[in-house]
Structure 1
Amino acid sequence: MGKRSKWLVTGLTSLGTATAAGGAFASGFQLRENSAAALGNAFAGAAASVEDTSIVANNPAGMTALRGNQVSGDLAIVIPSPIFSGMSVNAAHQPVSGSNGGDAGGAQPVLAAYGFYDASPDVKFGLAITAPFGLKTQYDSGWVGRYNAVKSDLEVININPNIAFRLTDWLSVGAGPALQHTSAELTNAINSTSIARLANPQLPAGFALPDGYAHITGDSLSVGYNLGVFAQISPETQIGASYRSQVSHHLDGTATINVPAPLAVDPRFQTTPSQTDFKTPEIVSLAGSSRIRPDLMLLAEVQWTNWSVVKNLRIQRPDGSALIDQPEQWHGTWFGSIGVSYFPDPNWTIRGGFAFDPTPVRDQFRTARIPDSDRYWLAAGVGYKWTADLRFDAAYVHIFANSAPIDEVSQTGDMLTGRYSNHIDIVSLSATLRF
């Protein structure tokens, strides 16, 4: 059975919907944007640098290097611009009408907040509220790939209390639970005409039905954890390592299906409760920072993300029958970054960084919901100490993304073929208050 025929048959036994992660701001559906200070270095040294309280999330053991109670907040505005060029043909090899989808990105905010309590010289407490994963893409409703995807919206909120202990003068450890709330919304059009023609090949040549529409929502609450080790090698040099666990979610929700009257009587195309299992990947980071001169610091980081947990995306009815069972077959990736911080005087910090952020998506499994590709970051930032206890940081990043081919078949046999181009701009501002 050919690829197109297999998906056509699947389309008649499902709701003709699709779900996947869409255009996130790091590779896969990962979000790194939790600190303007770290962003200015392209997140080089994020698990070892203690310039701000984002260390609570990036490596809890590093809290032992902070002094004084602190609170901070961060706002990042992320502007992705995924653009499709190509075409789509239906199951009868006829062109699908419509636009190329427009800019499926648009400005999107990412927020983070931190609190830190300096309990004693050797015991520290912290709280991080971040969005470590997420995505949002939305195409024009009448684009040529509407049977593959229209809207994809995934939000993961992570609430992470942590504690850190200083074991020796130079070695600290930290850990904490991570309460994770996930919500998702996915939509696409349904090719009602293709479904009707497959059911009755004798329909006249001019027969056509209006598109149907699928809207899936779901949410979940689950728990993971993170661990960290922090080593103060010398007064100028720190090394940090952190581990963030995989979190397994079971999303319950509703699949709302609207199709033309001739199909609406079929129970396969009626609104139903839905459920799916979903995992956020485990992440391991190793970072270092070294102040090689009083006015100059070098930083570096490598990070492994176990994207191989994303094997397939299956949404099903309560009885276990599939609404969608889509292969993904992602693979683990290594993110790497280098950065520099320059201190022209005690109040100012100037930052720069570069990162390579490879995609976990294999070309043969790329979808319109996640047209991901390898990415290259160029970052710049600045920090200013307004008073002894109040600090502001700002950063800008431009991300270059490789052109990405797509050859995706919808549940009703529509073949989307072409390429994606993309770039991402990020601006971020944070404030930290010590008291």
Structure 2
Amino acid sequence: MVSDSHCRLTRVPGEGAGGFSRVEPIRPVSRWAWAARAMIADMKRQCHTERAASMCFRRFSLCSTAIILGLYPLTVSANGYQNLHQSAQGLGTAYAANGTSIDDISAIYSNPASLTRFPGTHGSFGLTYIMPRDTFENLSATALGGAPVTDGSPAVPSQFLDNTVSGYWYLGRQLSDQLYFGLSFNAPWATESDYTDTAASRYTATTTALTAYNLSPMLAYKVNDRLSVAAALNIQYYTSEFATNLALNPAAPSADTDASADFEGNDLAFGVTLGVEYQANDQWRYGLSYRSKIDHGFDGDVVLSGPDATMGALALAGISAEGSARYDIATPWMLQLGTHGQLTDKLEVYGSATLTGWSAFKDTVIETSNIGTLRVRNGWDDAWYIAVGMGYQVTPETKIFGGIAYDETPTPTEVRNPRAPNADRYYVALGVAHEFRPGRTIKLGWSHTFFDDAPIRLTDENNPGRGTLNGDIKIDADIIMAQYIHEF
């Protein structure tokens, strides 16, 4: 039996902007690797028979979930705040393999109809390590009313996106000749950024941590040897934390007299994913999937903090340090088309096109009981992600793959916000898969992301109640992923 120690996460508290407490894992890579090794060793002892497979199926999911919950949120994912990093083969092909080309059970993330390509019982879990590099240049800001914001040390934020770890797991089980059951756990939407509360951008953003955890049970039906259909229920738990500074005296803004407003809220909501996969002939396969929009309504809290003099002034004004906060955030719909071409017995090509409905991400209106109503203008647009790639079977046990992609930003310049500084981006990626024992495979993926410059041009109109903010954000990132696949 897998012991509790295999799943234990050690954590220490850290201090976010404005004194907001956050929980972060200690040395996540080494801890995750230790837990994974222990889990795999235990499975090898117990999962060698079909009768034991269902018990291992449950243990796999519980232990993997405990590990993964300690790893989010992300700093750099896809445009908007979408997290595409759900498969090593996906990452290693710049997600050209998403839709219908991934040849392990993680294919069910992008298309649940892919389940029918994996008879028997399959499990997989993976780890992603994201290494961003960023600068915020030419920064200038004013407080509400036009007074320049210049004080604070440092006044210009640096490395506001941290290296982070994320994870995921997938399970699939054949129930009959035609019916298949699958289960996945991941976070398809996640982002984090952290600016110091002395930076000139502090009245627009300090801390942001948004993560939508997604548990998806699914059923797939094999209509015939060519056509499969599927549906998944998305059970989504969304955690949100964000903070900003408030200028107590906008005519003479100072970090020494600011108050920090820290917002926190959680919500559970539901959506669906529908998928179809069609094998046109021995050479070509196509996949189409749709992930629904999910609306979240948060009944959370807002906490004000700051120097004693600031808190005393707020108390004299009748403003409570603690209050309620109500706001809505929607995760967008997605429509994806994928294609897979088997050109020879060793060479294959991939392609995918994804339209994400970021127009669902409307203005965020925060109604509080102590500091009134705040508004963040979003006004995002629907955006495309286009990728192509190829794979080559070097030996019966080893495959290499690669890809390139273009990721369109959903964010117009006039509403681009430092909380999620989106820009058009481009990916190059490589990966390898090796089956080291029958039914046991390791996949590794790497990608580099090139970002267009992300100019911030927020005016009083597009940054209501917070003044103006101008600057140029530059980002690039490397991402690596390791994934283990086990066929029981």
Provide TM-score, normalisation by structure 1.
0.89
Change (3 A) 1:36 1:206: closer
1:369 to 415, 419, 423: 419
In structure 1, the partner of 2:243 is 187
2:336 to 285, 303, 316: 285
1:338 aligns with 2:388: yes
In structure 1, the partner of 2:200 is 144
Change (3 A) 1:255 1:395: same
Shift of 1:273: 0.9
Change (3 A) 1:208 1:329: closer
Q: Deviation per CA, 1:170-199: give whole Å up to 9, x if none.
A: 1110002110000011012221121xx4xx
In structure 2, the partner of 1:200 is none
2:95 to 12, 32, 43: 43
| 8 A contact 2:98–2:352 mirrored in 1 | yes
Tell me the SS of whatever aligns to 2:196.
Answer: coil
In structure 1, the partner of 2:151 is 97
C-alpha RMSD of the superposition: 2.1
CA distance in 1, matches of 2:466, 2:327: 23
1:254 aligns with 2:307: no
Shift of 1:322: 4.8
Shift of 1:252: 1.7
| 8 A contact 2:101–2:339 mirrored in 1 | yes
Shift of 1:250: 0.8
The answer for unaligned runs of 5 or more in structure 1 is 1-20, 198-204
| 8 A contact 1:192–1:209 mirrored in 2 | no
Q: Deviation per CA, 1:25-56: give whole Å up to 9, x if none.
A: 10001000001111111111311124111122
In structure 2, the partner of 1:69 is 121
CA distance in 2, matches of 1:22, 1:67: 33
Shift of 1:24: 4.2
Q: Deviation per CA, 1:278-307: give whole Å up to 9, x if none.
A: 110010100001110111110000001000
**219-228 or 258-267, which moves further after superposition?**
258-267
| 8 A contact 1:381–1:393 mirrored in 2 | yes
Tell me the SS of whatever aligns to 2:437.
Answer: coil
- Residue pairs, 1:296-311, within 5 angstroms: 296-311=347-362
In structure 1, the partner of 2:368 is 317
1:28 aligns with 2:80: yes
In structure 1, the partner of 2:316 is 265
Tell me the SS of whatever aligns to 1:81.
Answer: strand
| 8 A contact 1:83–1:421 mirrored in 2 | yes
Amino acid at match of 1:252: D
By percentage of residues, which structure has more strand? 1
CA distance in 2, matches of 1:106, 1:329: 27
Amino acid at match of 1:42: A
Q: Percent identity?
A: 26
In structure 2, the partner of 1:84 is 136
- Residue pairs, 1:349-368, within 5 angstroms: 349-368=399-418
Amino acid at match of 1:248: D
CA distance in 1, matches of 2:400, 2:314: 62
Tell me the SS of whatever aligns to 1:192.
Answer: coil
Question: Looking at both structures, which has the greater relative contact order when contacts are Cα pairs under 8 Å and sequence separation is at least 6?
Answer: 1
CA distance in 2, matches of 1:112, 1:425: 19
1:164 aligns with 2:220: yes
Provide TM-score, normalisation by structure 2.
0.79
By percentage of residues, which structure has more helix? 2
Tell me the SS of whatever aligns to 2:109.
Answer: helix
CA distance in 2, matches of 1:325, 1:95: 21
